[in-house]
């Protein structure tokens, strides 16, 4: 895997983890925050709702305070029997109630007895002792505003139509009234009370006012954004919550959970509530009468879906920002990594070119950082390599030249050796013939002393002859002039027998016995002249180092082992004698090798014979080896491919 | 030796060698004539046919026929056709071309191919063989 891929994957993983945790945290925060914010909002809404609710009451109270100053009203309370005045005041009050759009406007004496009832003038003089508001005004002698419940009997007294109204909007004949009552004074003394109020049952004016003030009657997804409701106990009597059919949900009831907390324990309830058919973040506050008794509830709700959608939008936006940022960061990171890695890639390519032998290639160093240093080092290394290579090439060339010089020198030397040896042959020829003619008595009798000296001279000449032959052979070998011209020969007839004939005098000299065990049918494909040189070399060695009166055994055969023809022809020459130490055997085949054998110290040799043999045999594709048992015998064996080739 | 002595023509450019061979052969009873150059040898052979020619192969000096060529020319003469020849040369016969003559060679008058240096025993026995004795 490439470094860049690894880093990219690593970074993607890191960013993914970061992104996911950021998204999760945002989501969580949004969630908590949004709900809390929504609940706070609802609290604010209901506070505003209450202000609107109470403002109405305050207005009623203000109106009543003005009325209480009216002289004629005061006189009505003092002079109950004045029917004319009573009618006049009643008409005025009726006008006021109608103008103020109020349901009731009553004048009461100090005991709470109704003196004037503007809505239902015929019903008079009933007591309203159970009205906590009036009780409070009478007891405390000051104005009181608030909400009171009107039981059926009272409703009946106020007007039968009101009973019916309450029944129509909720089914129960219980009215809830926002009202105020003020004491009427005359000369500092409280002489009666006036009370004015408005039934909430079926009235939408107040709740709609609240809703319109707070939510401007906004709709969201076909549902009102905000709703307000007034409950008598748990019964909706005034609301702008709508049913499925679009009518107001008057007459339905609040949930048990809400009723328990608000009505029975007198606490506010805040939370999400399923209001008729949609979820609202809502608050229910208890409505208390002047005695502090919980008589109903004020509810304000804000459509949850809007908050949820807002929250979703916020979360989505947040996620978009987080992931967008992440992608951007990744892109930037990728570009940065590319910038950082591109010199590494160039370094890599340069290394590859270097390894393919392009030592001239250099990297452009663009940065001052570690990679820049690495590139610098690379260039230095390449330079060093180039210089080293040039140096090696120089040394190599030098060596080559030296080698060539040596080859030429060697060749010259060999040519000279060959030339000198050749030139030696003629004088040597007449010397040998002359010395032997005398020594062998062809030219007259020879004395013993003369004979001894002549024998010695003859031996020296023989050695000289051998030397000349070997040097000539060596010279030819070294010059590469030896070419193998193969033909099929009979080994015994063409090599062994003629060579033996040539060496017969020396054999007789040492009184040696020859055992030629070479069968007549052994064939070999070889160069007969070269093979003759080899065999004569082996044979003359055997004579030279063999002991007097010893046996020389020549054996041969077409190699067969375990019944299969090896394709090799073997020829061996064995002589009895002192033998050769085993560790010296292999040295024999080296050029100019001589073995320091104390017993043979007097025997001269060129040290070339076996080297020449090996060269010739190897050119035939064969092998030559020696074996020996010290003090007993020595044997040299040739092994050659019978048909001339190894295959 | 009862008859006239066999006459041997020695051809070689090495004066010492000719001298040595002549001395040896004369001491064992041959009549010896000699030439230092092939042309001279041909001349002498034609003048009086020898019983055997002892011939060197390579000759120093001005270019002319070598021993082999000389022998061919001698034998081209019908009168000399049967004169046996022994080649005695410093040439290593087994190696130096073009003298790699095979035993079944057509060139029959050459009875032997001897290499210098040669020992008197060998030389004399080869001469006797060649003379058919």
Chain A residues close to B118, C-beta within 8 Å? 429, 432-433
Here the tokens at position A601 are 């110290």
- In 3D space, the residue among A205, A246, A245 whose CA is nearest the CA of residue A228 turns out to be A205
Bridge partner residues of B77 (DSSP): none
Contact A429 B92 (CB under 8 A): no
Domain ranges of chain B: 7-130
pLDDT value at residue B101: 46
pLDDT of B70 above 70: yes
pLDDT per residue as tens digits for the range A426-469: 889 889 999 999 999 999 999 999 999 999 999 889 888 888 88
Q: What is the model's pLDDT at position A2? A: 74
Residue of B nearest to A424 (CA): B90
> What is the reported pLDDT for A281?
86
State residue A498's pLDDT score: 86
| CB-CB under 8 Å, A425 with B120 | no
Q: What is the pLDDT of residue A562?
A: 58
Comparing A389-393, A590-594, B129-133, the range with the smallest average pLDDT is A590-594
Show residues of chain B in contact with A486, CB under 8 Å: none
pLDDT at A220 over 60: yes
Confidence at B71, pLDDT banded by 50, 70, 90? confident
A441 touches chain B (CB under 8 A): no
Question: How confident is the model at residue A400, as a pLDDT?
Answer: 93
pLDDT, position A603: 67
| The two three-digit tokens of residue A243, written as one number | 């049913």
Query: Chain B partners of A504 at a C-beta cutoff of 8 Å?
Result: none
**Rounded distance, CA A403 to CA A595, Å?**
30
Is the model's pLDDT at A238 over the cut of 90? no
pLDDT by residue (tens digit) across A177-200? 999 999 999 888 889 999 999 888
Banded pLDDT at A62 (limits 50, 70, 90): very high
d(Cα A12, Cα A310) in Å, to the nearest integer? 30
Q: Are A526 and A490 in contact (CB under 8 A)?
A: no
Which residue has better confidence, A635 or A591? A635
Contact between A425 and B123 using a beta-carbon 8 Å cutoff:
no
A269-275, strands of its sheet edge to edge: A235-239, A226-232, A294-303, A278-288, A269-275
CA A585, A587, A593, A595 dihedral sign is negative
Could you read off the pLDDT of A398-415 as tens digits, one per residue?
999 999 998 888 888 878
Is the CB of residue A556 less than 8 Å from the CB of residue A522?
yes
Among A176, A289, A292, A301, CA closest to A226:
A301
- Asked if A382 and A359 count as a contact pair (C-beta separation under 8 A), the reply is yes
Mean pLDDT of A39-48: 88
Nearest to A442 among B16, B27, B94 (CB): B27
CA dist A489 and A485 (Å) reads 12
Q: Decide which of A263 and A19 is more confident.
A: A263
pLDDT on residue A528: 86
pLDDT of residue B97: 40
Q: Which residues in A lie closer than 8 A to residue B90 (C-beta atoms)? A: 422, 425-426, 429
CA distance to A56, A97, A111, A208, A578, per residue, from A100 (Å): 11, 5, 26, 18, 161
Q: How many C-alpha atoms does B81 have within 13 Å on its Cβ side?
A: 4
Q: Which CATH architecture has domain B7-130?
A: 3-Layer(aba) Sandwich (3.40)
Question: What would the mean pLDDT of A210-236 be, rounded to a whole number?
Answer: 85
Residue of B63 and A377 predicted with greater confidence? A377
Q: Which residues of A touch B19 (CB under 8 A)?
A: 430
* Cβ-Cβ contacts under 8 Å, B97 against chain A: none
Give chain A positions within 8 Å (CB) of B94. Answer: 529-530, 532-533
Nearest to B66 by CA among B53, B75, B56: B56
Question: Which residue among B16, B27, B95 sits closest to A430, beta carbon to beta carbon?
Answer: B16
Residues B70 and B55 sit within 8 Å (Cβ to Cβ):
yes
Contact criterion met (CB below 8 Å) for A351 and A382: no
Q: How far apart are CA A297 and CA A285, in angstroms?
A: 5
Q: Flag if B121 and A436 touch (Cβ within 8 Å).
A: yes
Mean pLDDT value of segment A610-620: 90
CB contact under 8 A, A428 and B116: yes
- pLDDT interval class at B96 (50, 70, 90): very low
What angle in degrees, to the nearest 10, is found between the helix axes of A370-439 and A448-478?
150
- What is the spatial distance between Cα A346 and Cα A57, in angstroms, rounded to a whole number? 88
| Confidence (pLDDT) at B108 | 58
Reported pTM? 0.48
pLDDT on residue B114: 84
Residues 23-42 of B with CB under 8 A from A: 23-24, 27-28
Question: Scanning every residue of chain B, which has its alpha carbon at the shortest distance from the alpha carbon of A443?
Answer: B27
B4–chain A Cβ distance below 8 A for any pair? no
Percent of chain B at pLDDT > 90 equals: 29
Cβ within 8 Å of residue A140, ≥6 positions away: none
Q: Tell me whether residues B17 and A432 touch, CB distance under 8 A.
A: no
CA nearest to A530, candidates A498, A590, A486, A497:
A486
A326 interfaces chain B, CB cutoff of 8 Å: no
Neighbours of A287 (CB within 10 A): 25
Q: Is A436 on the interface with B (CB under 8 A)?
A: yes
Residues B14, A426: C-beta atoms closer than 8 Å: yes
Q: Are A570 and A559 in contact (CB under 8 A)?
A: yes
* Residue A580 reports pLDDT greater than 90: no
Pairwise CB contact (< 8 Å): A505 & B121: yes
Q: What strands, in cross-sheet order, belong to the sheet with A175-186?
A: A114-117, A104-109, A189-199, A175-186, A144-150
The stretch A305-320 carries a mean pLDDT of 81
Mean pLDDT of chain A: 86
The confidence band for A168, taking pLDDT boundaries of 50, 70 and 90, is confident
Of A627, A39, A566, residue with least CA distance to A304: A39
The torsion defined by the Cα of A496, A498, A502 and A507, in degrees rounded to 10, comes to 40
Contact residues for A355 (Cβ-Cβ < 8 A; gap 6+) = none
CA atoms of A539 and A499, how far apart (whole Å): 8
pLDDT value at position A361? 84
pLDDT in tens, A315-326: 788 888 888 888
Assign residue A170 a region (left: φ > 0; alpha: ψ between -120 and 50; beta: otherwise).
Answer: left
Cβ atoms within 10 Å of A607's Cβ, excluding its own = 16
pLDDT at site B92: 61
- Going by C-alpha positions, the residue among A342, A354, A348, A356 that lies closest to residue A381 is A354
B73 touching chain A per CB within 8 A: no
- In Å, how far are A108, A153, A331 from A111, measured between CA atoms? 8, 18, 87
pLDDT score for A584: 82
Q: Which residue, among B57, B60, B117, B121, would best test binding to A if mutated, counting the most A CBs under 10 Å from its CB?
A: B117
User: Residue A596: its pLDDT value, please?
Assistant: 66
CB-CB under 8 Å, B117 with A433: yes
Would the pLDDT of B12 be above 60? yes
A465 touches chain B (CB under 8 A): yes
Nearest CA in chain A to B15: A430
Work out the average pLDDT over A215-222.
81
pLDDT at A496 over 80: yes
Asked if the Cβ–Cβ distance from B120 to A422 is below 8 Å, we say no
Residue A38 in contact with partner chain B when CB distance is under 8 A: no
Report the residue of chain B nearest A534, measured CA to CA: B94
Find where tokens 């050749």 sit: A422
Q: Assign B1 a pLDDT band (cuts: 50, 70, 90).
A: very low
pLDDT band at B133 (very low <50, low <70, confident <90, very high): low
At residue A27, does pLDDT exceed 90? no
Considering only the beta carbons, identify the residue of A429, A430, A529 that sits closest to B95: A529
Q: Using an 8 Å Cβ cutoff, are A49 and A298 in contact?
A: yes
For residue A480, the model assigns a pLDDT of 77
- A437–B27 CB contact, under 8 Å: yes
Set of chain B residues whose Cβ sits within 8 Å of the Cβ of A428 = 116-117
Contact B92 A427 (CB under 8 A): no
- Do A433 and B17 lie within an 8 Å CB cutoff? yes
Q: What is the pLDDT of residue B99?
A: 43
What letter does residue B79 receive in the DSSP assignment? G
Considering only residues A647 and A366, tell me which one the structure prediction assigns the higher pLDDT: A366
Residues paired with B86 in a beta bridge: B54, B112
Q: Average pLDDT for residues A533-540, to the nearest whole number?
A: 92
Name which of A431, A434, A476 is nearest B95 (Cβ-Cβ). A476
pLDDT in tens, A78-118: 877 788 888 888 899 999 999 988 989 999 988 888 988 99
CA distance A142 to A61: 11
Q: What percent of chain A has pLDDT over 70?
A: 97
| Confidence at A638, pLDDT banded by 50, 70, 90 | very high
Question: Which residues does chain B have within 8 Å of residue A533's beta carbon, measured at their own beta carbons?
Answer: 94-95
Measure the N-to-C terminal CA separation of chain A; round to a whole number of Å. Answer: 52
Q: How many CB pairs under 8 A join A and B?
A: 76
Residues 6+ apart with CB under 8 A from A574: A542, A552, A553, A554, A555, A633, A634, A635
The pLDDT of residue A432: 93
Taking CA atoms, B94 is separated from A196, A482, A530, B13, in Å, by 162, 11, 7, 22
Going by their DSSP bridges, the two strands A219-220 and B31-35 should be labelled as unpaired
Task: Kindly state the average pLDDT of the residues A158-180.
Answer: 85
pLDDT at A319: 80
User: Are residues B24 and A443, on separate chains, in Cβ contact within 8 Å?
Assistant: yes
Position A306 pLDDT exceeds 70: yes
Query: With an 8 Å Cβ cutoff, are A429 and B90 in contact?
Result: yes
Q: For chain A, how are helix, strand and coil distributed in percent, rounded to 5?
A: 55, 20, 25
Report the distance separating Cα A305 and Cα A590, nearest Å.
Answer: 109
Residues of chain A with pLDDT > 90, as a percent, come to 27
Q: How far apart are CA B47 and CA B68, in angstroms?
A: 20
Q: What is the DSSP letter of B48?
A: S
**Confidence tier at A560 by pLDDT (50, 70, 90):** low
Partner-chain residue, chosen from A432, A443, A465, that has the shortest CB–CB distance to B23: A443
What are φ and ψ of residue A458, in 5° steps? -60, -40
Nearest residue on chain B to A462, alpha-carbon basis: B117
Strand A189-199 and strand A219-220: the pairing is unpaired
């Amino acid at each position: 895997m490439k470094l860049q891929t690894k880093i990219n994957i690593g970074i993607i993983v890191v960013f993914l983890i970061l992104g996911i945790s950021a998204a999760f945290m945002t989501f969580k925060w949004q969630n908590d925050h949004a709900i809390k914010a929504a609940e706070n909002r609802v609290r604010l809404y209901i506070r505003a709702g209450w202000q609107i609710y109470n403002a109405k009451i305050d207005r009623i109270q203000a109106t009543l305070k003005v009325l209480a100053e009216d002289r004629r009203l005061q006189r009505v309370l003092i002079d109950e029997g004045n029917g004319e005045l009573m009618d006049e005041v009643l008409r005025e009050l009726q006008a006021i109630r109608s103008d103020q759009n109020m349901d009731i406007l009553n004048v009461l004496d100090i005991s709470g007895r109704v003196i004037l009832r503007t809505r239902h003038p015929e019903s008079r003089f009933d007591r309203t002792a159970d009205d906590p508001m009036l009780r409070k005004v009478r007891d405390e002698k000051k104005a009181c505003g608030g909400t009171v419940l009107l039981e059926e009997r009272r409703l009946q007294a106020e007007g039968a139509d009101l009973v019916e109204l309450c029944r129509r909007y909720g089914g129960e004949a219980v009215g809830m009234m926002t009202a105020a009552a003020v004491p009427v004074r005359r000369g500092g003394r409280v002489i009666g009370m006036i009370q004015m109020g408005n039934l909430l049952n079926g009235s939408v004016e107040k709740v709609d006012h609240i809703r319109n003030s707070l939510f401007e009657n906004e709709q969201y997804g076909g549902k009102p954004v905000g709703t307000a409701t007034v409950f008598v106990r748990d019964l909706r009597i005034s609301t702008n919550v709508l049913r499925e059919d679009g009518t107001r949900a008057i007459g339905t009831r609040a949930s048990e959970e809400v009723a328990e907390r608000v009505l029975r324990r007198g606490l506010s309830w805040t939370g999400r509530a399923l209001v008729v058919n949609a979820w609202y973040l809502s608050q229910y506050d208890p409505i208390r009468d002047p005695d502090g008794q919980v008589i109903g509830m004020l509810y304000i709700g804000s459509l949850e879906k809007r908050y949820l959608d807002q929250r979703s939008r916020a979360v989505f936006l947040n996620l978009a920002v987080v992931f967008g940022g992440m992608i951007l960061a990744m892109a930037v990171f990728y570009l940065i990594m590319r910038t950082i890695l591109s010199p590494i890639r160039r370094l890599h390519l340069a290394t590859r070119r270097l390894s393919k032998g392009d030592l001239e290639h250099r990297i452009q160093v663009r940065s001052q950082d570690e990679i820049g240093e690495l590139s610098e080092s690379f260039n230095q290394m390449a330079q060093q390599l180039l210089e080293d290579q040039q140096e090696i090439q120089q040394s190599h060339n030098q060596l080559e030249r030296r080698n060539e010089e040596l080859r030429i020198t060697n060749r010259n030397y060999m040519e000279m050796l060959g030339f000198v040896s050749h030139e030696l042959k003629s004088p040597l020829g007449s010397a040998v013939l002359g010395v032997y003619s005398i020594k062998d008595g062809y030219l007259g009798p020879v004395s013993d002393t003369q004979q001894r000296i002549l024998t010695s001279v003859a031996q020296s000449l023989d050695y000289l002859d051998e030397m000349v032959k070997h040097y000539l052979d060596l010279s030819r070998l070294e010059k590469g002039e030896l070419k193998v011209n193969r033909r099929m020969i009979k080994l015994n007839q063409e090599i062994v027998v003629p060579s033996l004939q040539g060496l017969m005098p020396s054999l007789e000299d040492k009184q040696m016995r020859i055992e030629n065990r070479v069968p007549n049918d052994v064939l070999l494909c070889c160069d007969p002249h070269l093979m003759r040189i080899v065999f004569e070399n082996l044979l003359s060695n055997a004579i030279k180092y063999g002991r007097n009166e010893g046996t020389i055994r020549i054996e041969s055969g077409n190699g067969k082992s375990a019944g299969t023809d090896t394709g090799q022809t073997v020829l061996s020459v064995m002589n009895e004698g002192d033998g050769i130490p085993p560790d010296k055997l292999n040295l024999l085949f080296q050029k100019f090798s001589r073995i320091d054998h104390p017993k043979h110290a007097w025997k001269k040799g060129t040290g070339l014979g076996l080297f020449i043999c090996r060269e010739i045999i190897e050119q035939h594709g064969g092998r030559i080896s020696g074996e020996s048992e010290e003090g007993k015998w020595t044997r040299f064996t040739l092994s050659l491919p019978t048909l001339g080739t190894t295959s | 030796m009862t008859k006239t002595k066999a006459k041997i023509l020695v051809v070689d450019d090495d004066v010492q060698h000719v001298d040595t061979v002549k001395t040896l052969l004369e001491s064992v009873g041959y009549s010896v004539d000699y030439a230092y150059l092939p042309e001279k040898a041909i001349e002498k052979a034609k003048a009086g046919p020898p019983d055997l020619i002892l011939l060197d192969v390579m000759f120093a000096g001005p270019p002319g026929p070598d021993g082999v060529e000389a022998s061919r020319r001698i034998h081209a003469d019908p009168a000399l056709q049967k004169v046996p020849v022994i080649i005695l040369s410093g040439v290593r016969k087994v190696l130096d071309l073009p003298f790699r003559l095979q035993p079944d060679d057509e060139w029959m008058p050459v009875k032997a191919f001897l290499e210098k240096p040669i020992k008197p025993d060998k030389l004399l026995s080869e001469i006797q063989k060649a003379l058919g004795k």
